[in-house]
């Protein structure tokens, strides 16, 4: 399993707007009109994550959702993270 360093990750992130490489993971902050929309988005992300068997770190406060992806068993960012981020982007 290939892990990405900051330079190689940033190249892959060019196709993922507003995602950033931070602390051996990729992260993005989403903002919605209200809590219901944010929660609905989290549920959709959960379905994608379960299908991919790759589970993000999710943080929600009212209409804001922060997502962090990292592959814990690889101790860094892998293609699993970029693939899930790409699918999350299709929801937004």
| Per-residue model confidence as pLDDT tens digits over 11-67 | 999 999 999 999 999 999 999 999 999 999 999 999 999 999 999 999 999 999 999
* Residue 80 pLDDT class (50, 70, 90 cuts): very high
Element of type H or E holding 83: helix 79-91
Dihedral-angle region of residue 75 (phi above 0 means left; psi in -120 to 50 means alpha; beta otherwise):
left
Which pTM does this prediction carry?
A: 0.93
pLDDT at position 92, please? 83
Could you tell me the CATH superfamily of domain 6-91? Transcriptional coactivator/pterin dehydratase (3.30.1360.20)
């Amino acid at each position: 399993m290939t892990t990405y360093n900051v330079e190689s990750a940033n190249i892959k992130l060019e196709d993922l707007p507003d995602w950033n490489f931070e602390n051996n993971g990729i992260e993005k902050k989403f903002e919605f009109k209200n809590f219901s929309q944010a929660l609905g988005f989290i549920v959709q992300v959960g379905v994608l994550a379960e299908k991919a068997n790759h589970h993000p770190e999710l943080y929600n406060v009212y209409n804001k959702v922060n997502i962090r992806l990292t592959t814990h068993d690889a101790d860094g960012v892998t293609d699993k993270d970029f693939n899930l981020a790409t699918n999350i982007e299709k929801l937004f």
